[in-house]
Amino acid sequence: MRNTNRLRPIFLTFEQWLPRWSLQHRLCCSKPVSVHSNEESRADKFKTQIATGPRFHYFVKGASINKQQPVITDDLIDTDKHAYLPEDSESGNSRTVCFETYGCQMNVNDTEIAWSILQKKGYQRTSDVAEADVVLLVTCSIREKAEQTIWNRLRQLTAMKKRRLKTRVPMKIGVLGCMAERLKSELLEREKLLDVLAGPDAYRDLPRLLSVAHGGQQASNVLLSLEETYADVMPVHHSPQGYSAFVSIMRGCDNMCSYCIVPFTRGRERSRPVSSILEEVHILSEQGVKEVTLLGQNVNSYRDTSEEQFCSSEPGQLSRGFRTVYRARPGGLRFADLLDRVSLIDPDMRIRFTSPHPKDFPDEVLQLIKERANICKQIHLPAQSGSSTVLQAMRRGYSREAYLELVDNIKRIIPGVSLSSDFISGFCGETEEDHLQTLSLIREVRYNVGFLFAYSMRKKTHAFHRLQDDVPAEVKQRRLEELICMFREEATKVNSALIGRTQLVLVEGESKRSAQDLCGRNDGNLKVIFPRQEVAGQPTDTHTSPINPGDYVLVKVHFHSAVAVSYDVFYHTESQQDFSLSIILYV
């Protein structure tokens, strides 16, 4: 039963509540009341009233209140964050949402986080834009071309929105991620293409932003956070086969490379607590996921300081000859600790990580990669340039020599390691000689895979303010093509070394090339295409079965190109450990 005598102090004056409090106190008091003079007893009564009465914060709406206070009850405390909105205002009411994801794997993971948040609020997901009530573009700002793609798409979507029948729920269009952060008001005002804008740290606010948009207004939140890691949001993994998943372990970047917009769009570096990462990987393992890629803008700068006992005063170790543009911070659990724990969860689950920075590869990390069978022997080592002069202008914190020394160290500790890299052609001030140095670095390192880009000037960056974008577009393009040619040539040589060798392949599904073929990836992350067929569970087995996505198969190289490798399939295998055994038996 509700107590109708409850005091509502907001509507009472001091004089009004005083008698009520004194009455209540008397009724509750079990002590005999002593007889005093009138004045004394009045003063005592007043003191008692003050001592037992409500405190100042009781009159302040929403203040934190000590629950021991006699008449303060929960229904007087306003815990509703948005008291002015009806209770179910953030509900999706089964509206359909369609995500379109552009750019890097971080954006794939952001999509999963945003979807997880909306799904809990009752939204339904669709992959058909025509069916969607809400279309959300998860965007990339890294190069101008990436942004241009989004502008074009926004215009198409707006035309679609206008054509939509009046009898249907009006379509809402939102931009999430880096472009939302970088262009903010421009996106909202220019051409009025948008209903919702949410920066990379504002996805928790999406249900509210959408509810404002459904009410007919534009809504935006582009605040960056020093803490947000979405540690408690279990992303809904949406890979078509469901056998590989991305797990975000840190966000943001403190490096401030002179060409890069990421520190401005994704904010400061912060790491997700190790316990929540381990929990997510455990769940994925139970769901049958066979490959996890740990994600972050600088994934190997990981540093979890959430558990105080690990906060020593030791600064983190860098690769030899490397430095940071910021002061290395002490303490915390480092990438090696995390990798160690994650790889122990399920020995049959492959572990990869991207995108690392070359500065954070101390021997400890390399040794662990070598020793753990399920940590893939594949390292992405973005060089950006082969010229020390350009590297200095890029503020990368290493020279050509230090980078090559690191490559030697990696190859010595992890023989057969597969290396990949990022390069930028035509950065500010890059000469032909600098470019030749990059070509020679590619030849010297012999990467398996490369990601090559022409330099794209970004506002806000150090290069935008201080350097000249002085390499003409056609020169950037020509140099880019030369880098691509050199990469192809070297990758072909490196991959030829695989001919006749046995590789463990995690099957992804049907090859895009033909329904007769399947595709998967080897430990070095090379794409593998092989004929669909039935194979034995063990070399001695006579019984055969079809190969399914998520299976590991042992295959022998038959043919290769620079990007894809075709194999003959040997047989199914259960696990990474099996593979170590099989290698001893069959190669």
Contacting positions for ligand SAM (CB under 6 A) = 104, 142-143, 259-260, 262, 297-298, 355, 357, 382, 384, 422, 424, 453, 455-456, 458
- Single out the segment in contact with ligand SF4 by CB under 6 A; choices: 21-29, 251-259, 332-340, 478-486: 251-259
DSSP string of 157-212, one letter each residue: HHHHHHHS-TTSPPPEEEEEEHHHHHHHHHHHHGGG--SEEE-TT-GGGHHHHHHH
Three-class SS state of 544: strand
State which of positions 262-291 bind ligand SF4 (CB under 6 A): 262-263
Q: Which is nearer to ligand SAM, 239 or 456 (CB)?
A: 456
CB of 263 to ligand SF4, least distance (A): 5
Q: Is the dihedral of CA 172, 173, 178, 183 positive or negative?
A: negative
Distance CA 565, CA 560 (A): 4
Q: Which is nearer to ligand SF4, 325 or 345 (CB)?
A: 325
Q: Do 133 and 127 contact (CB within 8 A), yes or no?
A: no
Task: Output 220 or 421, the one with its CB closest to ligand SAM.
Answer: 421
- Token pair 């009898």 in the structure block, residue: 167
Q: What is the helix, strand, coil percentage profile of the chain, to 5?
A: 40, 20, 40
Site membership for ligand SF4, residue 249 (CB under 6 A): no
CA distance linking residue 15 with residue 367, whole number of Å: 76
Among 334, 357, 400, 458, binds ligand SF4 (CB under 6 A): 357
Task: For residue 346, give the nearest of 239, 243, 415, 417 by alpha carbon.
Answer: 243
Return the residue nearest ligand SAM (CB atom): 382
Q: Which two tokens stand for residue 287?
A: 């769901």
User: Which CB atom, from 284 or from 424, has the smaller least distance to ligand SAM?
Assistant: 424
Cβ closer to ligand SF4: 259 or 530? 259
Q: How far is the CB of 428 from ligand SF4 (least distance, A)?
A: 15
385 binds, among ligand SAM, ligand SF4, none (CB under 5 to 8 A by kind): none
Residue number, 9 or 177, with CB nearest to ligand SAM = 177
**What secondary structure, in 3-state letters, does 278-332 show?**
HHHHHHHHHCCCCEEEEECCCHHHCEECCCHHHCCCCECCCCCCCCCCCCCCECC
Please give the backbone phi and psi of residue 465, each rounded to the nearest 5 degrees, phi first.
Answer: -80, -35
Nearer to ligand SAM, 142 or 250 (CB): 142
Q: CA-to-CA distance for 73 and 306, rounded, in angstroms?
A: 34
> Counting contacts by CB under 6 A, is residue 428 touching ligand SF4?
no
CA separation, residue 320 to residues 147, 323, 359, 403 (Å): 37, 9, 8, 9
CA angle, 555 as apex, 554 and 557 as ends, to 5°?
150
| 322 or 570: CB nearest ligand SAM | 322
The nearer residue to ligand SF4, 458 or 560, going by C-beta atoms, is 458
User: Is residue 297 close enough to count as binding ligand SF4 by CB under 6 A?
Assistant: yes
CB of 189 to ligand SAM, least distance (A): 25
Residue 410's binding partner out of ligand SAM, ligand SF4, none, with CB under 5 to 8 Å set by partner kind: none
Q: Is 107 in the site for ligand SF4 (CB under 6 A)?
A: no
Binding-site partner at residue 263 among ligand SAM, ligand SF4, none, CB < 5 to 8 Å by type? ligand SF4
Q: Is 255 in the site for ligand SF4 (CB under 6 A)?
A: yes
d(CA 280, CA 247): 8
In the set 111, 141, 276, 298, which binds ligand SF4 (CB under 6 A)?
298
Task: State how far the Cα of 426 lies from the Cα of 399, in Å rounded to an integer.
Answer: 18
State yes or no: residue 414 binds ligand SF4 (CB under 6 A).
no
Q: Largest Cα–Cα distance of the chain, in whole Å?
A: 108
Q: Which does 182 bind (CB under 5 to 8 A by kind): ligand SF4, ligand SAM, none?
A: none
C-alpha count within 13 angstroms, C-beta hemisphere, residue 512: 2
* Residue closer to ligand SAM (CB basis): 90 or 147: 147
Instruction: State the binding string over 176-205 for ligand SF4 (x if CB under 6 A, else -).
Output: ------------------------------
Q: How far is it, in rounded angstroms, from Cα 523 to Cα 527? A: 10
As a whole number of angstroms, the distance between CA 505 and CA 528 comes to 7
Of 85-93, 256-264, 404-412, 532-540, the segment contacting ligand SF4 by CB under 6 A is 256-264
Applying CB under 6 A, the residues found at the interface with ligand SF4 are 253, 255-257, 260, 262-263, 297-298, 357
